[in-house]
Structure 1
Amino acid sequence: MKAAATGLLVVMAGVFLATRYFEPAYPWLGYVKAFAEAAMVGGLADWFAVTALFRHPLGLPIPHTAIIPRNKDRIGEALANFLKENFLIAPVVARRMRNIDLAGAVGRFLQAPHGEETRIRQGASRLIADLFESLDDERLGGLVKSSIANRIRNMEVSPLLGHALASAINDDRHVPMLEAAIRWMARALDANEELIRDMVHKRANWVLKLASLDTKLADAIIEGLRKLTADMHTDPAHPVRVKAEEALAQLANDLQTKPETRERVEAMKVQLLDNQSVSLWLDTLWQKGREAIIRAARNPDAAMAGKLGEILQSMGQSLDKDARMKSAINQFARRAVSGMAASYGSSIVKLVSETVRGWDAQTITNRLESAVGRDLQYIRINGTLVGGLVGLTLHVLDSI
């Protein structure tokens, strides 16, 4: 574009010289000469203006030229303040995220492992893998662990758990969990049959032992428990099973509305976070999660295939359709990002400012010129053409 703009200026100079030479023989060439003459003036003026932004025209230290190199520190400060005031203040972030359906977007993304999003997913996957491999593992792991622990510590988890449990009950997603608990009870009964018999035998008095009634009593207890677990497994309307479902529903309600339950859950949460075993678990979780993210990012199609792909698609459907869960996740994301902006916004602003200040004048000139230089060359072209039209108009008016 720079060559095109300069070439147009050279063409106008050639036209001007040619028309000036032939004008005595062909008077009508005066109009062409007027256009070319004014075009040179407009082109040179805009060349000077565009060049003065990035460097001294012709290397001459003319005042108020090389504006960007001379003011790079002030540009860095202005850019940093712009980021802070428009993007990195907690209320601004919260307001901008209020209309962002993050959970819905993630849900739709997980439901579409193939299709139009494939190329975007592959590019994003490579970026994620490169990012996780390049960052300092120990420092990043410590940052992630402390950030997760602090966010969980400052967040009231009871309503979120209550929403999730209520949503699962409404969609009957608790049924597999309940049936798994019943099967576990049956297996535990079989595995501890001798323990039950021994307990009955030790607690029976000598009369029952003399008549061998303790054995019959133990058999009756074990058979009764087996029948109870079998009936609960086969009969969805079994009274004990109904009571268990009612207890789950009550727990979901208490988690959201009952202060005593919420306080107990929050106290348990704090105790868990302070436990050394949980800290070690978070370390292990980070390492496994990081490795899994890198593997999945390097091969996104494999990650979305098989059972894992089915689980992720099922999660995507739930996120996309469950309004209550979607609202809870969006609220959590909004609070998390706003908290990050409040905690780290100043550090990001300082990083931007110091980075720009650390660039040498030639670096910042080259980067800005490569970003906007093409449009600036259009200014030179437009200045040449508009100047020519203005010169032609004035020549016509002067000839009347």
Structure 2
Amino acid sequence: MRRTATGMLLLMAMIFIATGRYLGVHPAMGYLHAFAEAAMVGGLADWFAVTALFRRPLGLPIPHTAIIPQNKDRIADTMAGFLRDNFLTPAVVARRMRLMNLAHAVGSYLAEPDKRGQSRVRAGAGELLVEVLQSLDPERLGNQVRGALASGLERLPVAPLLGRMMEAMIADGRHRPLIDSIIRWAGLVLEDNEEMVRDIIHQRANALLRFTGLDERLANSVLDGLYKLLAEVLVDPEHPLRAKVEEGLHNLARDLREDPAMQEKVEGMKRELLANPAVADWWQGVWERLRQSFIAMLRGEDGPGSDALSGLVGSFSELGGALRDDPRLQHQVNRFARRTAVGIASRYGDQIVQLVSETVKRWDAETVTARIEGAVGRDLQFIRMNGTLVGGLVGVTIHGASTLAG
């Protein structure tokens, strides 16, 4: 647009020079000459006015030029004041919010499908998350997540937390099913390894016991005694062995919570575990499976999470339908949104205005000039073009009037 306006000015100059040599050829040449002359004056005047807003014309130190760079701070305060007076006062916010049916707009967006018939939640937010997950480097992202978890675990004192969890579990009696499961597991392990126990007893028995066959009876007695012990502990909540186990759990919980030596031992085990490369490899595999599952779920592919996502999308659609069709719900949501917006304007309006003002003030003069000129420069070039044409028309009018008067 700047080149177009300058081209018009140069065209007027060429017409002015050309017609000046042939004024006596025809009376129309006088009108054309006057049009070009006045158009040059109008175009140059508007060029000066537009240029003076942003810089000094031809670099000359003419007063009241480069207006925007010279008054950057005042412009920043004026912009901030305009924003505060017209947008961020509670009365203005409340009036504008009262004219909006925000709940209906949100409800329509959630309830109505897009052009392809898909849910806007799935098609919009879901696809955005998919693009984000696919654009990021999986290994780097996994390492960052692992690093964040490791950093959080390093700062977290694990031992007291485990102690309090154990105490709460014991106080509620939730440890008893765990003890029962351990007893059953021990019984199954013993059953699966009977031959190994028998071999150990046979090997430890002396030759006389083996010669008389008492080693086999001894092995049977040992196994029967172990099975009987496990059965008694399992069915008797007051069994002494179970009491010993519970006492040990109480002592462990107390040591985890109060004993510095135990806490340091647990912290050392935690640090060794976090530093183990096998843990890092395991986490990387877990993270990659989670990432792929999440992408498949967001795309609606068949998988363990697709039903959950469909249910979530359906819930959003139902909520959108209620917001779109229920006037009472709309009234409540709109009132809440209006009060929230008014509260934000009241509490943070001055801070927002100050942020705008300080941001503009921190810009250098060239940045302010470039941004404002980029926003309105096209229209300002139209001013130059209009000034050229209007100046030419005024020149023709004056020339015609003087010709008629003469």
Partner letter of residue 90 of structure 1? Answer: P
Aligned runs of 1:306-325 on 2, under 5 Å?
A: 306-325=310-329
Counterpart-to-counterpart distance in 2, 1:127 and 1:347: 35
Mapping of 1:125-136 within 5 angstroms?
none
Could you tell me which residue of structure 2 aligns to residue 13 of structure 1? 13
Which residue of structure 1 lines up, in the alignment, with residue 362 of structure 2? 358
Distance 1:51 1:365, change over 3 A: same
Q: Give 1 or 2 for the bigger CA radius of gyration.
A: 2
CA distance in 1, matches of 2:361, 2:333: 39
Distance 1:337 1:328, change over 3 A: same
Distance 1:353 1:2, change over 3 A: same
Structure 2 residue identity aligned to 1:370: G
Contact 2:121 2:313 in 1 (8 A): no
In structure 2, C-alpha distance between the alignment counterparts of 1:28 and 1:91, rounded to whole Å: 62
Measured on the aligned residues, the alpha-carbon RMSD in Å equals: 3.6
- 1:121-158 alpha-carbon deviations (Å, 9 max, x no partner): 899859997xx99xxxxxxxxxxxxxxxxxxxxxxxxx
Match of 1:370 among 367, 374, 382: 374
Matching residue's letter, 2:386: N
Identity of aligned residues (%): 52
How many Å apart are 1:345 and its aligned residue? 0.9
The two structures have a TM-score, normalised by structure 2, of 0.53
Letter in structure 2 aligned against 1:103 = A
Seen in structure 2, the aligned counterparts of structure 1 residues 57 and 121 have a Cα distance that, compared at 3 Å, is farther
Q: Following TM superposition, by how much is the alpha carbon of 1:311 offset from its aligned partner in structure 2, in angstroms?
A: 1.5
Q: TM-score, normalised by structure 1?
A: 0.54
Q: Go from structure 1 to structure 2 and tell me whether the alpha carbon gap of 1:326 and 1:28 turns closer, same or farther (over 3 Å shift).
A: closer
User: Is residue 54 of structure 1 aligned with residue 54 of structure 2?
Assistant: yes
Match of 1:102 in 2: 102
Cα 1:123/1:115, change in 2 over 3 Å: closer
Say whether the 8 Å CA contact 2:127–2:299 is kept in structure 1: no
- The corresponding residue for 1:247 is none
Alpha-carbon distance in 1 for matches of 2:71, 2:16: 39
What is the Cα deviation at residue 25 of structure 1? 3.4
For the Cα contact (< 8 Å) 2:93–2:342, is it kept in 1?
Answer: yes
Deviates more, 1:382-391 or 1:322-331: 322-331
Tell whether 2:390 aligns with 1:386. yes
The reply on whether 1:113 has 2:117 as its aligned counterpart is: no
Pairwise CA distance, 1:87: 1.4
Gaps of 5+ in 1: 134-290
Is the contact between residue 303 and residue 309 of structure 1 (CA under 8 Å) also seen in structure 2? Answer: no
Does residue 30 of structure 1 match 2:66?
no
Residues 126 and 7 of structure 1: is their aligned pair in 2 closer, same or farther, counting only changes over 3 Å? farther
Q: 1:343 and 1:313, CA in 2 relative to 1: closer, same or farther beyond 3 A?
A: same
Matched residue of 1:28: which SS?
A: helix
- Structure 1 residue 308, shift from structure 2 partner: 2.1
> Is 1:103–1:326's contact at 8 Å kept on the other side of the alignment?
yes
Evaluate the alpha carbon distance shift between residue 299 and residue 69 of structure 1 in structure 2; reply closer, same or farther with a 3 A threshold: farther
Kept in 2, the 8 Å contact 1:125–1:300? The answer is: no
Alpha-carbon distance between aligned partners in 2 of 1:117 and 1:72, rounded to the nearest angstrom: 51
Distance 1:391 1:115 in 2: 57
Q: How does 1:74-93 map to 2 (within 5 A)?
A: 74-93=74-93
What displacement does 1:116 show?
9.3
Task: Indicate the residue corresponding to 2:346 in structure 1.
Answer: 342
Structure 2 gaps of 5+ residues are 134-290
CA-to-aligned-CA distance 1:354-382 (integer Å, 9 cap, x gap): 00000111100000001000000000000
- Mapping 1:256-275, distance limit 5 Å: none
Does residue 396 in structure 1 map to residue 400 in structure 2?
yes
CA deviation string 1:84-114 (max 9, x = no partner): 1111122221121112111111111111231
Question: Structure 2 matches for 1:152-163, cutoff 5 A?
Answer: none
1:250-304: CA deviation from partner (whole Å, max 9, x where unpaired)? xxxxxxxxxxxxxxxxxxxxxxxxxxxxxxxxxxxxxxxxx9xx989x9799999
2:335 is the alignment partner of 1:331: yes
2:22, 2:29 within 8 Å by CA — same for their partners in 1? yes
Deviation at residue 82 of structure 1 after TM alignment: 1.1
Q: Which residue of 1 aligns with 2:71?
A: 71
Aligned residues: 239
CA distance in structure 1 between the aligned counterparts of 2:318 and 2:312, rounded to whole angstroms: 10
Instruction: Give the residue type in structure 2 aligned to 1:73.
Output: D
Are the counterparts in 1 of residues 102 and 334 from structure 2 also a CA contact under 8 Å?
yes
Return closer, same or farther for 1:43/1:103 CA change in 2, 3 Å cut-off.
Answer: same
Residue in structure 1 matched with residue 137 of structure 2 by the alignment: none
Distance 1:303 1:380 in 2: 63
Q: Distance in 2 between matches of 1:2 and 1:126?
A: 44
> Does the CA contact (< 8 Å) of 1:43 and 1:383 recur in 2?
yes
For 2:350 and 2:319, how far apart are their aligned partners in 1?
36
Contact 1:90 1:342 in 2 (8 A): yes
